[in-house]
Amino acid sequence: MSIHTKKIEKKVTVSTIRNMKSVEPITMITAYDTLFAKLFDGKVEMILVGDSLNMSFSGKPDTLSANMEMMIYHTKAVCNGAKLPLIVFDMPFGSYTTKDRALKNATRVYRETDAQAVKIEGGKERAKIIKTLTNNSIAVVGHIGLMPQFVRSEGGYKVKGKNENNIKALVEDAIAIEKAGAFALVVEGVKSEAAKAITDAVSIPTIGIGAGIDTDGQVLVWSDMFGFFEDFKPKFAKQYLNGAKLIKNALDEYVDEVKNRKFPTDEFTY
Ligand code: KIV
């Protein structure tokens, strides 16, 4: 098997991402801290400091209780570790309910962190909010399809794009978001025909998660793809590593060595 190991050598910008549509698939991964961000640096074009950290990092049942303070804290940590990817700040639930609130909070993101863009969940109903941000020089990534911040109002995580009417509505959402000035669009949890229709309808890149092969790029949550989050395995999240097993095995070895006075040996002693 040949593995693509192209190293990214220059800082990725909004224009880099825009220009990748139909040229080269975009890679994006989530990160929440410096340690992992450093490992991802130079390997992916984009890092999302996702509000999914509220679940995998903070142990909450959904993303809804994430807030600006914690997102800013984690984004600063990620920016300290990753210098080359374009870093996207995920606007938490309730932080962009009005144009003024969205502008105040997104301005805070630019002032207090080195993130280059913010991500907002929602369709055409969010177009005015996105326009307010882009009019004020804040780069925006949209997010349509299955939107985790709607989990309570929709009564669960629902796959979208299952019929013609819904595909049409998703395409309209995507066009409205592009017109509002977003430079990229996350498309989550939709049937692959819907993701293709959305991707064909807009000139900004689409980044899929659980949306099939036809989007302009892919994003995965790091703890899912590296097998650290054991509570739930989404169908779309390919596990590239069994991180939990590796950690547990290593920890068993450490505990065994301490209990049996095999660690530290002379090699690890002053
Ligand atoms: O919060 C997150 O990690 C996300 C991805 C699922 C796209 O929004």
DSSP one-letter string for 222-233: HHHHTT---S--
| Domain-embedded: residue 120 | yes
Does residue 190 have a pLDDT over 70?
Answer: yes
Does residue 188 have an active-site annotation? yes
In the predicted model, what is the mean pLDDT of the chain? 96
CB of 30 within 6 A of ligand 1: the answer is: yes
CB of 209 within 6 A of ligand 1: the answer is: yes
Return the C-alpha torsion angle 63, 50, 235, 56, nearest 10: -60
**What's the CA angle centered on 120, arms 116 and 122, to 5 degrees?**
155
Counting the structural domains of the chain, the total is 2
Do residues 25 and 60 both lie within one domain? yes
| Domain-embedded: residue 5 | no
pLDDT band at 130 (very low <50, low <70, confident <90, very high): very high
Residue 121 tokens, joined: 């969940």
- Active-site pick, 45, 121, 178, 188: 188
Do residues 232 and 264 both lie within one domain? no
Measured CA to CA, the distance from residue 134 to residue 23 in angstroms comes to 25
| Domain-embedded: residue 43 | yes
Do residues 49 and 169 both lie within one domain? yes
Rg (CA), the chain: 20
Do residues 67 and 152 both lie within one domain? yes
Nearest to 188, CA basis, from 40, 2, 6, 63: 63
Do residues 19 and 100 both lie within one domain? yes
| Domain-embedded: residue 7 | no
pLDDT in tens, 109-125: 999 999 999 999 999 99
Do residues 72 and 57 both lie within one domain? yes
pLDDT band at 233 (very low <50, low <70, confident <90, very high): confident
* Rounded alpha-carbon distances, angstroms, from residue 190 to 79, 169, 236: 30, 12, 11
- CATH code, 221: 3.20.20.60
pLDDT band at 4 (very low <50, low <70, confident <90, very high): low
Q: Which helix (H) or strand (E) holds 111?
A: helix 99-112
| Domain-embedded: residue 6 | no
Do residues 247 and 196 both lie within one domain? no
Do residues 50 and 104 both lie within one domain? yes
Q: 28, 30, 36, 222: which to mutate for ligand 1, most atoms within 8 A of CB? A: 30
- Name the percent of the chain lying above pLDDT 90: 94
Task: Tell me which residue range forms the domain holding 255.
Answer: 243-270
Do residues 124 and 37 both lie within one domain? yes
| Domain-embedded: residue 4 | no
Do residues 71 and 85 both lie within one domain? yes
| Domain-embedded: residue 8 | no
